[in-house]
Amino acid sequence: MPLDKSAAIFIVGPTAIGKTALALDLARKINGEIISCDSMQVYKGMDILSQSPKKTETKKVRYHLVRFLSPTKEYSAGSFKRIAAHLIDDIIRRGKTPIIAGGTGLYVKALVDGLFPTPKADPKFRKEMYDHAARYGNMRLYKKLEKIDPDSASTIHPNNVRRVVRALEICHSTGRTMTELKRGTKGIADKYRIKIFGLNAPREEVYANVNARVEKMFASGVVREVKKLSGKRLSRTARAALGLKEILGYLKEEYSLDEAKELMKRNTRRYAKRQLTWFRADKRIKWIKDGEKIRWNELLR
């Protein structure tokens, strides 16, 4: 399949939608290599929790950023951007196509558009802004942002007080608007042709997939995996793994195994919903519906 050598392909979407299988299939078709864009698949000893690709799959196609970091170590969007950008350069230099697959939306944004340095929180200023909104209304606070940084204001809903306050706080702390800071950042979109494909299905099907995956995880021994992890001093990032808290609650006898399963299903469904909300806001994504015949020759032109 002919493809522009300077292209980078992204496959995104909610959890349990089939991103890994699609990425593997595409990689074989176009002589590609896959970079995992998942905040948990980087960790060793979390194969079931993170649903990382099987070792048999990673032998068929070269797979990067899977099972390479101790769960005691921190990982972030900045870490991912730095490592993934280097990998993409190397993959393209070797005449192959990078396929970035995963559902961690912030990591996708960081890699494609870049990250701008943000100041530490200023609790005193935040309190003043929240008090201002409570006293005079959200719209009055929003008008402040519109006057200072109209471009950022145009991307934020007036009632999203948290984001309005953060934009004002950045300007207060740095003397520069969020818009100005963003202009100074670069991601790989400035260097390569980007193609982003999103997988989706009706909500009922997404939720059914999530429920089935959780059942499979328990059958595969996720409780044993979490028990081993519980003896480690896990990083803040690793502690955020879906299912970890729920299973630890079961191991501490706070509730039954069935209750742990139901909590994990519910929280994973909520995460899938948040993922879809995030990705739907990116108008660059070409959505592929469940069951749709994928004509890669057309999509990759």
- Residue 269 has φ and ψ, to the nearest 5°, of -60, -40
- Split at pLDDT 50, 70, 90, the class of 59 is confident
- With beta carbons less than 8 A apart as the criterion, state whether 78 and 115 touch: yes
**249 CB-contact burial (10 Å; exposed 0-12 / middle 13-18 / buried 19+):** middle
Reading the block at residue 39, the tokens are 């905040």
State residue 293's pLDDT score.
77
**131 CB-contact burial (10 Å; exposed 0-12 / middle 13-18 / buried 19+):** exposed
Helices assigned H by DSSP within the chain: 19-30, 47-50, 55-60, 77-93, 105-113, 123-136, 138-148, 150-153, 161-174, 178-183, 203-219, 222-229, 236-239, 244-251, 257-280, 296-299
- 247 Cα distance to chain centroid: 23
pLDDT tens for residues 18-28?
A: 999 999 999 99
* Choices 3.30.950.10, 3.30.70.2190, 3.40.50.300, 3.40.50.1470: CATH for 7-114+190-299: 3.40.50.300
Q: Is the pLDDT of residue 64 over 60?
A: yes
- Split at pLDDT 50, 70, 90, the class of 2 is very low
Enumerate the CATH 3.40.50.300 domain ranges in the chain, comma separated.
Answer: 7-114+190-299
The partner residues of 199 in beta bridges, in order of sequence, read 288
Enumerate the CATH 1.10.20.140 domain ranges in the chain, comma separated.
Answer: 123-183
Please give the CATH topology (third level) of the domain spanning 123-183.
Answer: Histone, subunit A (1.10.20)
The total of other beta-carbon atoms located within 10 Å of residue 56's CB is 7
- Residue 10 has φ and ψ, to the nearest 5°, of -115, 140
State residue 291's pLDDT score.
65
- 88 Cα distance to chain centroid: 18
Q: CA-CA distances (angstroms) from residue 111 to 17, 63, 213?
A: 22, 17, 28
Cα gap 41→279, rounded to integer Å: 20
Give the residue-averaged pLDDT of 38-53.
96
Q: CA-CA distances (angstroms) from residue 218 to 53, 80, 157, 204, 232?
A: 17, 29, 40, 22, 21
Cα gap 91→94, rounded to integer Å: 5
pTM given for the model: 0.82
Average pLDDT, the chain: 93
Phi-psi region of 18 (alpha: psi -120 to 50; beta: other; left: phi over 0): left
- Residue that wins the pLDDT comparison between 3 and 227: 227
Least confident residue range of 44-48, 95-99, 158-162, 206-210: 158-162
- Split at pLDDT 50, 70, 90, the class of 127 is very high
DSSP state of 39: T
pLDDT tens for residues 90-119?
A: 999 999 999 999 999 999 999 999 987 778
- Residue 291 has φ and ψ, to the nearest 5°, of 85, -5
Proportion of the chain above pLDDT 90, given as a percent: 83
Reading the block at residue 87, the tokens are 């990998």
pLDDT tens for residues 198-227?
A: 999 999 999 999 999 999 999 999 999 999
- 174-195 exposure pattern, b = at least 16 Cβ within 10 A, e = fewer: eeebbbbbeeeeebbeeebebb
First to last CA, the chain: 10
Give the residue-averaged pLDDT of 183-206.
92
